[in-house]
Amino acid sequence: MTRVRPFLLVIAALTFSCEGKPKEDAPGADADGGANAADGSSVDTSSADFHTPAVIADVLGTMRDVAWEKTSAPVTNLTRFSIAPDGTSDLIAVSDTAASVSGVLVAEAEMAASTRETADRLLRVMFKAVEVEGGFRVMSTKHPMYGLDASGGDVVLSDIRSASKGPEAGYLVLTAQESGGAWTLTAPARHVWSEGDGDGGFASDPAWVPKSIGYADGSLTLTDTPASFALYAPPIDLDLPADMNPDGTGRVSNPEFFARDEGPNFLDTLTVSDDYAAQIAARGPDANTAAASESMLDAIEADLKAEGASMRYPAGFYLTWRDGMLARTLVSAGTFDGSVGQRSVPFVYFTNETDAGGAHHPFMVIATYGLPDSLSLLWDIPRPPGDGLGGGYDNESVTRIVVSERHLIKIPLRDYGLVSSLTENTMVGSLAADVQETQYDHHNYASVSATGVAIDGVVVYPSYNNRLQFAQAEAELSTHGMHAGRGLDAHYHSDAHSASGEGLNVYNASDYDGHTHPPLISMGFDGIAGYGVYQEGDTANDGEDVPLDEFAGHTHGAYGYHYHSVSKTETSSSGASYTAHMFPPRGAWAGKINGIPAFWDNNRPDYANAGANPWVGRE
């Protein structure tokens, strides 16, 4: 019998307003030692408001209020600005489509005189100065693989950082001078791709003749006579929130660790056994694969019931999650080997294999490239991770770019129950054990690697780093709560929505509109769902009055046991007070993992499996 889907993907009506602050943990919710999680008893789920956040591609189409302000502040490293030909209200913009970025810059007429604009248009007129020898390169904010370059007599946008950059790639070295509110831009040098030892493979072009930047017929040009421009302050605040750098750590000068092309990705041509092939017959949303997934969930539900077991959540919950993941596409040329319009999660499917004793262990399998569909903003991180190759951080290159992953993530559907104490789960590897810490708590009794996956397909790491400190307090995360590890893999350590009000995060204030519960934002590898924060002043959302336990989880109404994003006042190593913003699961797992087949891959959870594995449907 075909299942009537009781819960549908809900895209909230999007309006931008001041972001609410998150509620803090209930008193005592961060106490050390074991404590009982909620009992997880079976409840009626017909009234649960399961919904996932609006996709960033839709968020970019929403309108924002904007007040344009000219600036005369010096252009320094990481300064963001918009450019207007002097005497006009036109703004120079990047041109793109849903699937490509144009090299041609355009003039958006009278934009600096407007008071309402889409988030997309605002991002397209935002540029950023990145310091290089002799000046700075000017990078697109929306597409940070691209910078201003020269082509003939025109200033164009050129791919200078991705795997797709050509042998002709280059960028202008610019300087900016202000006098009486008017700016002149000059290009004393140009750097070209050489794969040598220069600026990340770029070297000075010996044939370059210094030029000034002019303006004619709606385009920036190269000229001997400089034009005058007005610079405007950035219309969207993407600066690092104070909570992400409470000690005011300065930006390190270490060179960037550059990515290399790793060749074909098996997710591009994923194959699975015949039992599951119909679920991945098309990439992204598709009626036929959706029907095949519903049918598989019917079979899973029936098989578990016959064994006296059940799924942790109803089928409609998993279908809502699946729809939410498959809808996401990359809006930014901001990754080494991703492309605008690419599906960040091409497939989500369900398997139903049995163990040697004949018991079923079904999984939701998420095939993800691990690339955020929004901006990563890694270039702005003050102190990103080092590459581990230099014999000490001061001698290492640092990670400011991400590459595509090859993840097949298994989320258990079977309800294996909840732990009764912190240490009931057997950890093959943990943050505590990694540094010989024997006093366990709900932050350090956690994976040395990922603990779950966010709705955009990027994995979630514990709130602590491998030094048992909140990662955000050590100035190693971007405005969006993520960074790249030594393998240049993107992952979240912190919830940026509760730290930043710019509205381009994994979830945002608008995702609460018209709903009775925070949005569904993550899934733990233990099978427990993660939801957004209960915002400060919230008295209407389901379960807001039910305290969270030490795992930052609770049970209420029709939702079953689940995690929430939480915040808590902390003190940094230098004594500065800040708010820790924790993305679920924030550390230890509340769900029992000991009975989950093939949970571990050496000392980390098995979520990057490209080989034969029946649990992901690859015999």
pTM of the model: 0.92
In this prediction, residue 207 has a pLDDT band, given cuts at 50, 70 and 90, of: very high
CA atoms within 13 A on the CB side of 55: 19
**pLDDT of the residue at 6:** 33
Distance CA 416, CA 309 (A): 9
pLDDT tens for each residue of 573-606: 899 999 999 999 999 999 999 999 999 999 999 9
Distance CA 133, CA 519 (A): 46
In this prediction, residue 501 has a pLDDT band, given cuts at 50, 70 and 90, of: confident
**pLDDT of the residue at 22:** 47
Q: Return the bridge partners of 568, or none.
A: 580
**pLDDT of the residue at 322:** 98
Average pLDDT of the chain, as a whole number: 91
Q: Return the bridge partners of 282, or none.
A: none
**pLDDT of the residue at 611:** 67
Q: How far is CA 463 from the centre of its chain?
A: 15
Greater confidence (267 vs 44) lies with 267
Q: What is the CATH number of domain 67-232?
A: 2.80.10.50
What residue segments make up the domains of the chain, in order of their start?
A: 1-35+53-62+240-597+607-619, 67-232
Q: How far is CA 494 from the centre of its chain?
A: 10
Minimum mean pLDDT among 57-66, 209-218, 261-270: which range? 261-270
Spell out where 180-297 has E strands: 182-193, 202-204, 211-216, 219-223, 229-232
Q: Is 98 exposed, middle or buried (0-12, 13-18, 19+ CB in 10 A)?
A: exposed
Minimum mean pLDDT among 214-223, 226-235, 542-551, 608-617: which range? 608-617
**pLDDT of the residue at 587:** 98
Inter-axis angle of helices 287-306 and 315-326, nearest 10? 150
pLDDT tens for each residue of 424-478: 999 999 999 999 999 999 999 999 999 999 999 999 999 999 999 999 999 999 9
Greater confidence (260 vs 249) lies with 249
pLDDT tens for each residue of 9-44: 333 332 223 334 445 444 333 333 333 343 433 444
**Which backbone phi and psi does 393 adopt, to 5 degrees?**
-55, -40
pLDDT tens for each residue of 607-617: 986 667 899 99
Q: Are residues 606 and 618 in contact, defined by beta-carbon separation less than 8 angstroms?
A: no
